[in-house]
Chains A and B, each alone.
Chain A
Amino acid sequence: MARVMLFGPLRDVAGWRERDLPAASITALKALLAAEDSALGLALYGKGVQVAVDQAIVRGDLALSANAEVAFLPPMSGG
């Protein structure tokens, strides 16, 4: 299971902040989320959304280990 975390506007779109979901890769995880919530799916592919796995930004697809922490980070606003 991956611990999935949403931040900023993505959390408002989805209506949740953290969930445990079964996914073998980032691509599979995005497909799973998009299949159950098309608005969230669209937002995840939106401009400037970055993905962090275990608190490090990754680009492209990546296999997810069990207990991976996957965070979807919309464009950062600064403080």
Chain B
Amino acid sequence: MSVILQDAPFDPGALLLTFSRGREETGAIVSFTGIARAEAGRTTTLELEAYSGFTEIEIGRIEAQATARFSLHDVLIVHRTGPIAPGEAIVFVATAAGHRREAFEAADLLMDYLKSRAPFWKKEVGPDGERWIEPSDRDRTDAARWD
């Protein structure tokens, strides 16, 4: 189980390859990659702020809950911070479980949490200026499915 926050870009394919290696009892691995959208040119940069230390602990708490709930063999969460350009990966989640249903559902739960409740503050910067972003209604109802 690990949570990694980093300013530097990452390669989701390389992360998945490393995560998948050497597993003989894991029947299912699901991975999700979130990409920064350009929003039809309205966003030139996404700026993501975390509270170093606190953010990892809070995400780790949900990771532990998901691990217990879905009997996961392993989880990896990598999240970008700082300025992110459209087209770059923001978040990578991989789950490993004995069977596919648990791996799918755990990845789904973790992403709903990360998109709506994780301790980040997100700003969109574009030609018309900058604005702080809050979770959408859909992000909130998606996350509430797991409560």
Which residues from chain A sit less than 8 Å from chain B, CB to CB? 5, 7-9, 12, 52, 55, 71, 73-79
Contact = CB atoms under 8 A, between A and B. Distances in A.
A9 B130 CA distance: 11
B106 to A, nearest CB: 17
Interface stretch (B7-15, B16-24, B66-74, B116-124): B116-124
A77 B54 contact: no
A79 B111 CA distance: 9
Given A79-B79, A79-B115, A9 B54 contact: no
Interface residues of B, number: 26
Given A76-B117, A76-B118, A78-B122, 20 more contacts: A7-B51, A7-B121, A8-B49, A8-B121, A9-B132, A12-B132, A55-B51, A55-B53, A71-B54, A73-B51, A74-B121, A76-B121, A77-B122, A77-B134, A78-B120, A78-B135, A79-B79, A79-B90, A79-B114, A79-B118
B57 A8 contact: no
B40 interface: no
A70 to B, nearest CB: 12
B91 interface: yes
Nearest to B116: A78
Interface in B97-147: 113-123, 132-135, 139
